[in-house]
Structures are given as C-alpha cells and as structure tokens.
Amino acid sequence: MIHTGTFWKQFDFILFAAILLLILFGILMIASTTRGAIDPDLITRVPDQILYAIIGIVMVFILAAVDYRLLGGLHMWLYIVMVALLVLVQFLGVEGDAGSQRWINVGIRIQPSEIGKILIIITLGYHLA
C-alpha cells in the first residue's frame, strides 16, 4: 500500500533536514580526516560514503511511501526471520576485526543484529499499538 495524495502532507521535512545535516557533517568529518591520505583504502572513503548516503536517501523515500500498517501484519514472520538470522550467525558466522563472530557472508557481509534492531522495533510497535 502506498500513500497517494497525502505523502508530501505527512512527510516530516524537519526530520529529513536534520538527517541531511548529519549526513553532510559525517561526510565532512571523513573528508577532513582522510585528506592527504596515501593509503588507497582511505582515499575511497568519501566517495563511498556519498554513495551510501544517496542509497540511504532513496530508501527513506521508498520506505516513507509504504503504509506502515502493512508491516504490522507481517510482524510475526519478520520476527521469525530475525531470530533465524541471529541463530545462523552461530553456525555460518565469520569473524570480525576483534575476533567476534557477528557477520554472515552471503556474497556480501551482513550483520544480522542490525537487521534485528529494525525488526524488533516493528514487532514491538505492533504489540504496543
């Protein structure tokens, strides 16, 4: 379900402006700390961060257009997927930087606990509403 005429009326422009300011501040901080870097990994940090910011902004508009009540009906399945991903880390997890096993490698490395945070908010929101 997508909001048709009320999308822009319900969109929180102040929150979106705050998000844009935080993104800009983060990119400026990365740029200032990696300026003059010789390491090629550090040189690509700013363009990568800009790309991630653009992807994030697009996702904001996509998710803002989806009716949140749709997720309420899926809350149980989303919770089951979250628990399955967290259990899967114990068996298929790869070690991170400090030797902790928090990631799953499926072509790209994902951290199920980050997905779990979002899904727990959806599940709790359904039960508390």
The label of the residue with tokens 């490698």 reads 105
Q: Which residues, at least 6 apart from 72, have a Cβ–Cβ distance to it below 8 Å?
A: 122, 125, 126, 129
Give per-residue pLDDT as tens, 67-84. Answer: 777 877 888 888 898 899
Q: How many domains does the chain have?
A: 2
Domain identity same for 19 and 7 = yes
> Are the C-beta atoms of residues 108 and 64 closer than 8 Å to each other?
no
Looking at residue 64, its amino acid is: A
**Both 78 and 56 in a single domain?**
no
pLDDT in tens, 28-56: 999 888 888 777 777 788 899 999 999 99
Task: Answer yes or no: do 61 and 77 share one domain.
Answer: no
Domain boundary among 14, 39, 66: 66
46 close to 27: Cβ distance less than 8 angstroms: yes
Residue 115 and residue 72 share a domain: yes
Residues 83 and 45 in one domain: no
Domain that holds residue 17: 1-66
Q: Under DSSP, is residue 2 helix (H, G, I), strand (E, B) or coil?
A: strand
Structure tokens at 79: 């919770």
